[in-house]
Amino acid sequence: MPKKHSNHKYIFVIGGVMSGVGKGIATSSIGTLLEARGLRVNLVKVDPYLNVDAGTMNPTEHGEVFVLDSGLETDQDMGNYERFLNRTLTSNDYITSGMIYKHVIEKERALGYGGKCVEAVPHIRDEIVRRFERAAVNDESDVSIIEIGGTVGDYQNIMFIEAARVLKMKRPNDVIVIIVSYLPIPGKIGEMKSRPTQHAIRQLASYGVNTDIIIARSELPVDKKRKEKIAVSCNMNPDHVISAPDIDSVYDVPINFEKDCLTNIIFKTFHMRPKTSGSGLGAWKKFADGVKDAKEEINIAIVGKYFNTGDFVLTDAYISVLEAIKYSAYALGKKPVIHTVNARDFEVKKPDYKALNKLQGIIVPGGFGETGIEGKLNVIRYARENKIPYFGLCYGMQLMTVEYARNVLGLAGANTTEIDPKTAYPIIDIMIDQKKKLADKDYGGSMRLGGYDAVLSKGTIAREAYGRETIRERHRHRYEVNPEFIARLEEAGLVFSGKSPSGTLMEIAELPRSQHPFFLGTQFHPEFLARPLAPHPLFTAFVKAAVRRIAPRSK
């Protein structure tokens, strides 16, 4: 192990009582706070499921699949981490049970254990510890904050908690454990109950892991009396119970943690001194205040198919897109109001387009498969013909190209072969190297994934927005603009303003500003690089165009 690792610190974040209380945002926020104090932090997400990565999971059930620069398909929490840290994380920072078991079993098949009986303990556990250490060393960070998915008491995450125990035993002064717990206020009783939290901490203790800090999530702030009660029953200092009441904006979470001095408590527990004086949160605070100050509304729609099970699913399935819109809107001092448009509503013979007229911008995000395609194409056509700012993300770019081919080039029945493999005009077609993968049913981690360069042409909206010639953006697709149709599309006025460095793959399509205020689509997913402190230039250009469109009068 390189020398640096000898000083490395580990913070484990574990859920108590129940899921869905903001463990990911708490982890991200601790990252923001420690980086602001001059430490280099790597945030690690542990997902206890047996999927090797998140790429094969349905967004309606598990939320958005976030793609790292390396191409690894991960849980959406990695997106929160990168956004809160304003930094790119690596494949070492994402760990699933599937990865661990796959590695151990493959090693066993290759006689890597020298004839020993291979078992969960020690082999799975030690492989987990090895990966925690590898993430620390490879990222050259001072602190790793490792969020263990699930809740204390789950069967699924028990090996990871066991690995945390072993790491704490090996380096007692370098590991702290934080529980993000929940204190319910049952309606009939009307007072905050700390008993479930006490039980969660005792259960963790029964695995040999003591809790150092509690982040006490609740509807209301946790008072002194309850802090003391928890502290006595759990053998802790009452100051180590951090009150984390519900708040309107997740961006206030780091600031709220500081009210109970979380950073100082972490430094004290590690017997460390911060590298800087002051909270270092100036830029973050400015952003978080801007969120609250923005008053003038800007109405943007997302046209999608993952809306059918309610808003919870929407926000999770398109979280990076929603966040990207927000950051650019806030940077322009606007309050984003996001509307959901169900593509299916526009599949009927005579769609009612009135609702679209009220909008200032329309986004068709990434997607796979058939549902709502004709509806999306109708919406795109309407946006093009009525000069409503339009931004297509991956599938949204592919469909925008299909729409152009159908309605401007007059190629009736033009399509993507993902939908219509027999179309006479395969405007979007599978990439050559993807064909074999599909034929072999090789679905896992096999798309064109992760960061690739693109070169931008002068005098285009894209080039103006980025202000540079070469960009690097993240991808997740199997299909592309069919090279056989590029010349015809260009002759008909569609501009491919971004191309792969070899010039073969179309990365951005747009219409010149003389024809439309903003009609642009990207083969990549710009939303994955939008950060609170660094809004994405294309989203900003889109929102600017949306702001210029006359604001809707009625609500």
Q: Does 419 bind ligand GLN (CB under 6 A)?
A: no
Residues serving a catalytic function are 394, 525, 527
User: Which one, of 15, 42, 50, 552, lies nearest residue 301 by Cα?
Assistant: 552
Whole-number minimum distance, CB 536 to ligand GLN, in Å?
A: 16
- Residue 177 in tokens: 């454990």
C-beta neighbour count of 494 within 10 angstroms: 25
Q: Does 366 bind ligand GLN (CB under 6 A)?
A: yes
Binding region for ligand GLN (CB under 6 A) out of 69-77, 104-112, 392-400, 465-473 = 392-400
Of 367 and 526, the one with the shorter C-beta distance to ligand GLN is: 367
Q: Where are the alpha helices (DSSP H) in 120-194?
A: 125-138, 158-170
Of 284 and 479, the one with the shorter C-beta distance to ligand GLN is: 479
Q: Write the DSSP symbol of residue 3.
A: G
Three-state DSSP state, 84: helix
Binding region for ligand GLN (CB under 6 A) out of 218-226, 258-266, 298-306, 476-484 = 476-484
Q: Is the peptide bond before 122 cis (omega within 30 degrees of 0)?
A: yes
How far apart CA 529 and CA 23 sit, in angstroms, is 22
Q: Does 477 bind ligand GLN (CB under 6 A)?
A: yes
Three-state DSSP state, 230: helix
How far apart CA 259 and CA 265 sit, in angstroms, is 12
Binding region for ligand GLN (CB under 6 A) out of 55-63, 76-84, 110-118, 363-371 = 363-371
Whole-number minimum distance, CB 475 to ligand GLN, in Å?
A: 8
Place of tokens 């020398």: 3
Binding region for ligand GLN (CB under 6 A) out of 85-93, 145-153, 177-185, 391-399 = 391-399
Spell out the residues 6+ positions from residue 450 whose beta carbon is closer than 8 angstroms to its own. Answer: 67, 68, 69, 70, 71, 72, 474, 475
Whole-number minimum distance, CB 362 to ligand GLN, in Å?
A: 16
Q: Does 474 bind ligand GLN (CB under 6 A)?
A: no
Q: Does 368 bind ligand GLN (CB under 6 A)?
A: yes
Q: Does 147 bind ligand GLN (CB under 6 A)?
A: no
Q: Write the DSSP symbol of residue 531.
A: B
**Residues touching ligand GLN: how many (CB under 6 A)?**
11
Which of 395, 485, 524, 528 is the binder for ligand GLN (CB under 6 A)? 395
Of 131 and 476, the one with the shorter C-beta distance to ligand GLN is: 476
Q: Does 452 bind ligand GLN (CB under 6 A)?
A: no
How far apart CA 494 and CA 521 sit, in angstroms, is 11
Of 182 and 390, the one with the shorter C-beta distance to ligand GLN is: 390
For residue 197, the one-letter residue type is T
Q: Where are the alpha helices (DSSP H) in 207-308?
A: 224-234, 253-259, 262-269, 282-293
Q: Write the DSSP symbol of residue 457.
A: P
- Residue 395 in tokens: 């599938």
Q: Does 479 bind ligand GLN (CB under 6 A)?
A: yes
Whole-number minimum distance, CB 273 to ligand GLN, in Å?
A: 46
Three-state DSSP state, 552: coil
Of 395 and 519, the one with the shorter C-beta distance to ligand GLN is: 395
User: Among all residues, whose Cβ is closest to ligand GLN?
Assistant: 366
Q: Does 526 bind ligand GLN (CB under 6 A)?
A: no
Q: Does 451 bind ligand GLN (CB under 6 A)?
A: no
Which of 16, 361, 367, 389 is the binder for ligand GLN (CB under 6 A)? 367
Q: Does 466 bind ligand GLN (CB under 6 A)?
A: no
CB 69 within 8 A of CB 475: no
Binding site for ligand GLN (CB under 6 A): 366-368, 394-395, 398, 418, 476-479
